[in-house]
Structure 1
Amino acid sequence: MRWIRCGAAKQLLMLLIALMGMPVMAAEPGQACRVFDDCIRQIEASRVGTSPAAQTQEQIALSHQLLQLDDAVPRLVEMLGDADIGKATIAAAALRDANAIDPRYLPAIERGLDRGLPWLVAALGRIPSDEAARRAVDELMRSPDAPLDQASYAVELSGKRAIPYIIDIAHCRSGCQSGQAYKLGEVLGRMGPEAMSAIPSLVGIAGDPWVPQATAGEAIATLANMGPVAQSAGPALIALRSHRLALAQGIDAALIAIHSPAAGAIVGRVLAAHGADYTSLRRLGLLGPAGYDAGPEVLKILLREEGELQVSAAQALGLIGYRPAVPALIDALKNEANVRLNGAAAESLGRLGDASARPALQWAAQAHWFPPVRARAAEALSHLSSGVPYAPLGRDDEFGFVSAHIFAREQRQSSTCSASRTLTGSPSKMPVPGGDLVVVDNGEWGASLSFQPAGGQDQMILEQRITSLQRFHGQIVAVVAIDSYLISSGGLYMIKRSDDGVWHASLWRMLPWSPQGARLQRNGELLVALGGGYDVLVDGKGNMRVPDCAATSTRI
């Protein structure tokens, strides 16, 4: 053994004493943690400046490392009772992602829930016990944010263990709860095959003649909210419809939602009786082949309507596989007035896989003026050649095919011609014989174009947001933005006065996206700046093209 000299030993002793007074430092945040306390300190450091309920990406990564430690779950459960709410919240967030939690820890987790710890409710789904599943269902029904929250996730994780408690609620013995069908149905739908055991019980409640009509209706609505997972309930619901006519409307809605083979005929009857609307066409497209029987009515919409209804009809025909529509879709692909219809028709022709569409698609892929339509046509040709079908729409694709997203894949981050970003709308008033055309934009309260005579009553012409009003080749053209949660498009409308003095607006050309402004060019074309990143030039005959930036920017 080597001895340290007295002076050196004294210096070493003083150094050790100094080190003992220094705080123990954890590894730098972002480094791997292999000791429980080090992991907790790193998580605390990563949370500086964040709210108690928030989780940083670094915290999530560290929590996953923490859960790999042998003693992690017991120590995290113990931390739930820590007087420091920050530490208790860290434990709650980590337990949410544990692989499994022993049922003996349920009382401690329930105390944490009663304390209001965020994230912890999902941990109930990690406990393989009926009592934990019951508490998860109770939390689901109490939550104002369900079914898009941690309580819903807990029930989903609980799977079959939660089914008896869900069915007990579906009986509405103390009255049906607000939002019950939506909460229960959505969670069951996300469970997938594990939810199948709930279907006979829900059908039984709906068909029980001694059950109040409101309770039966809630059970049917729960099946509807389950979506295609509940498709096996279709035959029983069809049979029930014949002798409980008061429930017929709810049953029809459920048959559509679960993608029953009877759904297409139901949607067809609705369209025939009430006309076309975006919601019905959206639901129909989501049915896929189950919606085939609605094809004749949807084809009528394609041939009869204009604008966005035409677009949605063209999309739906492809999604339901209605091949008799191929000739009409070929015509729609060539329709010069509606570029959005061109894009929808190209994709639907690809989905239908009919070889007779090949020449029209080849023309569109090579010669169409709008690049995204060329891309859609080329994609359709690829599917025709390979025989590989398009991917079907899934449960989360409710808005994936609606007209708002016709060219979503091709949307650019910036304009083709950046100079057009400076375009401004026309003045809000345009003098015309006998008065003025007046554009009013009240923001969220609406917008409109009206005629204000020199004397007399104003006349409403168009209730849409007008981004520009232009005199164009002897005509008056309104550049209109059509924006909603379903649609983001636009159009050019001709504004004319009839012989009897009444002003009218008629759709002349659809635009690919919502317009931001427009300005006349020196060569007589109208330059329209679009929100999708492409600009469009329109001539007096309605021919459209994507501008050449170098030439266009010098003429603005």
Structure 2
Amino acid sequence: MDLARLELAIQRVRRAPDPGGLAFIAEFGEQANPHAGELVAGLMGHRNADVRVFAARTVGLIQHAEARDALVACLDDVVDWRLVLAAAESLGRLRAAKAIESLERVSAAHWFPPVRDAARKSIRVIRGEDTFASEKSPRDSFFTFFDAWTRERNLLRPALTQAPDELPPPVLVQRTFTSMEEGREAETLGRLVAKRRQPTCGLRVPGGFLLGLDRGEWRGTLAYQSEDATQESFIAWDNIHGLHRVGSRIFAVTGLAHLGGNEGHLFLVEPRESTYAITPWRELPGAPEYSGWLPDGRLCIVCIGACVVVTLDGALQALEASEAPLPPA
């Protein structure tokens, strides 16, 4: 084992934890555990979601058995399906027999089918009925681990409708708002600058509108604008694909698929003094393509990896082909 190379990876992760550094540690497999196990396990509570997810996978690849209890706790995460999937797989790699009951619960009840499948696989491995395929280089598969689901093209194209409080295209083109964008000129590089843009989605709220913009790789904006357009407030710098009210809650559908990246998020938008603020609510299985309403009143988000349904009580479901209403002929 190249201890000097492993130490470089460990120092990288200590300085600034990131999935790339964890991938280098994972490449050493079980040999890395005595040197990096405790460090990696501690990152399962990191503030960055990607770091948490890849730390949960790495502890299994390096056989850090002391992380079993923390991995079981990750199975109860409701925000990020990726974390649950990574934890389920790592528990199988660690042959965590005491986790079988928790894995059975995930295999029966989790909303996303690949997570249920991962839990079932780990149960079989723990019971000696299955094995994980050997990986010549864990680092090679590290970043494709989740792509098996988020990169597989979702073929469902359900016909969706718009709610009355969602602004239709003829109304959107009549409004402009201030979009905060990354400066591209020499004098504005590295800071946000204001541009007047037409929103690509909008939602009526008391006293005005929430307006969103999707600019692809250049990122968009979420803002609040008063009815008469005399007052505006910047809320977030992100690609806003859709704005929807589900019961008493407002959700912003965000994400981007570009080059090697493919991510989707569902944010909760809540009143904050005279404006609004957003907080992360759920991870989506890939970048959103479009969203709207099913005939039965559920919000549907068509993502690259799957169609996700948000029920009125706030639960997530994966839309089955038999449930998807066909678009008009």
Q: TM-score range by the shorter chain?
A: 0.7 to 0.9
Q: 140, 143, 146: which one pairs with 1:406?
A: 146
Correspondence 1:191-230 to 2 at 5 A = none
Which residue does the alignment assign to 1:74? none
Secondary structure, counterpart of 2:136 in structure 1: coil
Alpha-carbon distance in structure 1 between the residues aligned to 2:136 and 2:221: 38
Q: 290, 298, 319: which one pairs with 1:517?
A: 290
Which residue does the alignment assign to 1:342? 84
Alpha-carbon distance in structure 2 between the residues aligned to 1:525 and 1:451: 25
Which residue does the alignment assign to 1:526? 299
Alpha-carbon distance in structure 2 between the residues aligned to 1:280 and 1:414: 31
Q: 247, 259, 282: which one pairs with 1:473?
A: 247
Alpha-carbon distance in structure 1 between the residues aligned to 2:19 and 2:71: 19
> 1:317 deviation in Å?
1.8
Secondary structure, counterpart of 2:158 in structure 1: helix
Alpha-carbon distance in structure 2 between the residues aligned to 1:424 and 1:299: 45
Secondary structure, counterpart of 1:301 in structure 2: helix
Which residue does the alignment assign to 1:545? 317
AA aligned to 1:540 is L
Correspondence 1:311-326 to 2 at 5 A = 311-326=53-68
AA aligned to 1:362 is E
Secondary structure, counterpart of 2:141 in structure 1: coil
More contact order relative to length (CA 8 Å, sep ≥ 6): 2
Structure 1 contact 364–373 (Cα < 8 Å) conserved: yes
1:102-158 Cα distance to aligned partner (Å, 9 max, x none): xxxxxxxxxxxxxxxxxxxxxxxxxxxxxxxxxxxxxxxxxxxxxxxxxxxxxxxxx
Percent identity between the two aligned chains: 26
1:529/1:290 CA distance change after superposition, 3 Å: same
> 1:444 deviation in Å?
3.0
Give TM-score, length-normalised by structure 1. 0.46
1:348-391 Cα distance to aligned partner (Å, 9 max, x none): 11111121122222222333332211211122122212287534
Alpha-carbon distance in structure 2 between the residues aligned to 1:334 and 1:490: 20
Which residue does the alignment assign to 1:450? 223
Q: 195, 203, 219: which one pairs with 1:430?
A: 203
Correspondence 1:162-173 to 2 at 5 A = none
Which residue does the alignment assign to 1:439? 212
Which residue does the alignment assign to 1:66? none
1:367/1:497 CA distance change after superposition, 3 Å: closer
Q: Which structure features the higher share of helix residues?
A: 1
Alpha-carbon distance in structure 2 between the residues aligned to 1:424 and 1:289: 52
Structure 1 contact 536–545 (Cα < 8 Å) conserved: yes
> 1:485 deviation in Å?
4.6
The answer on 1:495 being equivalent to 2:286 is no
AA aligned to 1:446 is R
Structure 2 contact 309–319 (Cα < 8 Å) conserved: yes
AA aligned to 1:367 is A
Q: 463, 467, 474: which one pairs with 2:237?
A: 463
Which residue does the alignment assign to 1:329? 71
Alpha-carbon distance in structure 2 between the residues aligned to 1:431 and 1:410: 32
Q: 341, 345, 358: which one pairs with 2:100?
A: 358
1:536/1:356 CA distance change after superposition, 3 Å: same
Q: Which structure features the higher share of strand residues?
A: 2
> 1:457 deviation in Å?
6.0
Alpha-carbon distance in structure 2 between the residues aligned to 1:436 and 1:410: 32
1:502/1:414 CA distance change after superposition, 3 Å: closer
Which residue does the alignment assign to 2:21? 280
Alpha-carbon distance in structure 1 between the residues aligned to 2:280 and 2:28: 31
Alpha-carbon distance in structure 2 between the residues aligned to 1:295 and 1:423: 50
Correspondence 1:15-26 to 2 at 5 A = none
1:275-318 Cα distance to aligned partner (Å, 9 max, x none): x3232233333332243233333333322436433222211221
1:551/1:414 CA distance change after superposition, 3 Å: closer
> 1:393 deviation in Å?
3.5
Correspondence 1:173-322 to 2 at 5 A = 231=1, 234=3, 255-256=5-6, 262=7, 267=10, 269-274=11-16, 276-292=17-33, 293-305=35-47, 307-322=49-64
Structure 1 contact 286–393 (Cα < 8 Å) conserved: no
1:361/1:463 CA distance change after superposition, 3 Å: same
Secondary structure, counterpart of 1:545 in structure 2: strand
Structure 1 unmatched runs, 5+: 1-230, 239-254, 257-261
1:227-278 Cα distance to aligned partner (Å, 9 max, x none): xxxx55x4xxx5xxxxxxxxxxxxxxxx13xxxxx46xx52x544443x323
> 1:506 deviation in Å?
0.7
AA aligned to 2:157 is S
Aligned residues: 290
AA aligned to 2:53 is V
1:392-436 Cα distance to aligned partner (Å, 9 max, x none): 4334x645222x641506865543x4325x779965233434543
Structure 2 contact 263–287 (Cα < 8 Å) conserved: yes
> 1:474 deviation in Å?
1.7
Which residue does the alignment assign to 2:125? 383
1:301/1:498 CA distance change after superposition, 3 Å: farther
1:456-493 Cα distance to aligned partner (Å, 9 max, x none): 5641x233222211122122201112435554231210
Structure 2 contact 157–327 (Cα < 8 Å) conserved: no
Structure 2 unmatched runs, 5+: 168-200
Alpha-carbon distance in structure 2 between the residues aligned to 1:429 and 1:472: 15
